[in-house]
Amino acid sequence: MNTILEMARHRLEGRAQKLVVAGCLVERFRDQIRENIPEVDAVVGTGELEQILGAAGVAPPPESNSPFRILSSRREGDARQARGRFSRAGWDGAIADLPSSLYDETTPRVLATPRHMAYIKIAEGCDHPCTFCIIPQLRGKFRSRRLESVVAEAERLARSGVREITLIGQDTTCYGEDLELKDGLALLLERLAQIEDLRWVRFLYAYPNKITGRLLETIVAHDKICSYVDVPLQHASPEVLRRMKRGGGADVFLRTIEKARRTIPDVTLRTSFIVGFPGETEKEFEELCDFVRAARFDWMGTFGYSNQEGAGAYSLDNKVHAKEVELRRKHLMQIQRQISRKRKKALLGKEFDLLLEGASEETDLLLEGRTAMHAPEIDGKVFVNETPDRVEAQAGQFYRCQIVEAHDYDLVARIL
Ligand code: SF4
């Protein structure tokens, strides 16, 4: 909202010609945005991608030449739809249509990331029933892009200079299920690993019970696929996970982690948790803390529970007080800080490939980059404090580096 208000000032003062608000927020607060911010020229929900052209004053292409493709869905999604999972009844200004289309390899695209890296959305929507989440109502049923479409886009990006690709979707491990593909994500990764000009391929947002042996073996079999698994677990107490309608628990998660570490010895593990879910007792929170100590993640994020109208958990009793939620969040991050410090220290003296990203955002005196252990934008940083005279360090290039300092989350390296 603050960003929209900031842009509204530009619109008012004539520095912006049009102000179009697009995306999830529109699905949730369409009428309020229109009523309270008159500077907004148009709102475009997640199911109205094509209307963004009209909103920007550009004639839309004929329907036969749409840049978006209507995609299929899975039986699980259809069944959940029948049970009301995607219903927006009672939402202020929500329109009936859920998004059903997604871009493909022929859709014109402007990269908003640096030239050497790109995200590729391989699927849209989600069929899971997590009770804290309204993404399914915002993004619709899970549906995948065709495998050939993703590969063609990756090849095109590689030709234009992209060296690192990060695959995203609400649940990337479901990829291909609606296309009757078995092990769809593993198959896709195998194909992407064949693209010569790419150096790193990774995927984010795995669903815990979808991390198969085949997927782990595919990661370890290809140098270009980063040994990196991001699996948001949300909690570790079986009781809380049951109320979240996610299933699982500390024991089964630890077995999955152990299997990942056994199959991919240098694997980097990332996860995120929600603390203060309605009814979370001291004991359940302690179970989560014990699990975090045992799992020793490389990267971890913690969010305080946020009560979303329209989510299943909205009507649950025993909400945890906001102050307590924040205390628990800080406590869990404190535990992780110590684990992270130890894990980063263990990297001292080791050598890695580093993708240089340019001058550090924090000081002009240092450069900044990432190793395969660091996903773009979310993980800690690697600062570079030394470059040999003969090397002219360039953003977007790969260099061999050695870790010379380790902090709680960040590393310092020298280029060799
Ligand atoms: S939390 Fe993730 S898996 Fe669960 S419903 Fe939301 S988007 Fe889907």
The pLDDT tens digits of the residues spanning 29-78 come to: 888 999 999 999 999 988 787 788 888 888 877 766 666 666 677 788 88
Helix (H) or strand (E) run with residue 197 in it:
none
Structural contact between residues 411 and 380, judged by C-beta atoms closer than 8 angstroms: yes
Q: Which residue stretches of 119-193 are H helix?
A: 135-139, 147-159, 184-192
d(CA 353, CA 318): 49
Burial of 3 (0-12, 13-18, 19+ CB in 10 A): exposed
Q: Which atom of ligand 1 is nearest to the CA of 127?
A: 8
Residue carrying structure tokens 């148009």 = 42
Rounded to 10 deg, the angle between the 282-295 and 250-263 helix axes is 10
Per-residue burial over 142-156, b = 16 or more CB atoms within 10 Å of its CB, e = otherwise = bbbbbbebbbebbbe
d(CA 154, CA 170): 19
Which residue among 124, 130, 234, 305 is best mutated to probe the pocket of ligand 1, counting the most ligand atoms within 8 A of its Cβ? 130
Q: Tokens for 147, please give them.
A: 């495998």
Q: How far is the CA of 126 from the centre of ligand 1 (A)?
A: 6
Q: Which residue stretches of 264-321 are H helix?
A: 282-295
Residue 65 has a pLDDT of 65
Average pLDDT over residues 187-206: 98
Q: How far is the CA of 128 from the centre of ligand 1 (A)?
A: 6
Residue 96 has a pLDDT of 60
Residue 107 has a pLDDT of 83
306: left (phi over 0), alpha (psi -120 to 50) or beta: beta
Residue 50 has a pLDDT of 74
Q: Model confidence at 340, in pLDDT bands (50, 70, 90)?
A: very high
d(CA 183, CA 174): 9
* Alpha-carbon separation of residue 370 from 373, 382, 396 (angstroms): 7, 6, 11
Average pLDDT over the chain reads 93
Structural contact between residues 356 and 384, judged by C-beta atoms closer than 8 angstroms: yes
Count of Cβ atoms closer than 10 Å to residue 347 Cβ:
18
Residues forming beta bridges with residue 166, ordered by sequence position: 119, 202
Helix (H) or strand (E) run with residue 80 in it:
helix 75-82
Q: In what order do the strands lie in the sheet with 117-121?
A: 117-121, 164-168, 200-203
Pairing of strands 42-44, 20-22: parallel
Q: How far is the CA of 303 from the centre of ligand 1 (A)?
A: 14
Q: What's the pLDDT tens digit per position in 360-402?
A: 988 888 999 999 999 999 999 999 999 998 888 899 999 999 9
Q: How far is the CA of 340 from the centre of ligand 1 (A)?
A: 26
Ligand 1 atom 6 nearest Cα: 133
Q: How far is the CA of 189 from the centre of ligand 1 (A)?
A: 22
Q: How far is the CA of 310 from the centre of ligand 1 (A)?
A: 14
Residue 70 has a pLDDT of 62
Q: How far is the CA of 246 from the centre of ligand 1 (A)?
A: 9
Contacts of 57 (CB under 8 A, 6+ apart): 18
Which residue among 83, 86, 128, 173 is best mutated to probe the pocket of ligand 1, counting the most ligand atoms within 8 A of its Cβ? 128
Residue 312 has pLDDT above 80, yes or no: yes
Residues with CB under 6 A from ligand 1: 126, 128, 130, 133, 135-136, 170-171, 207
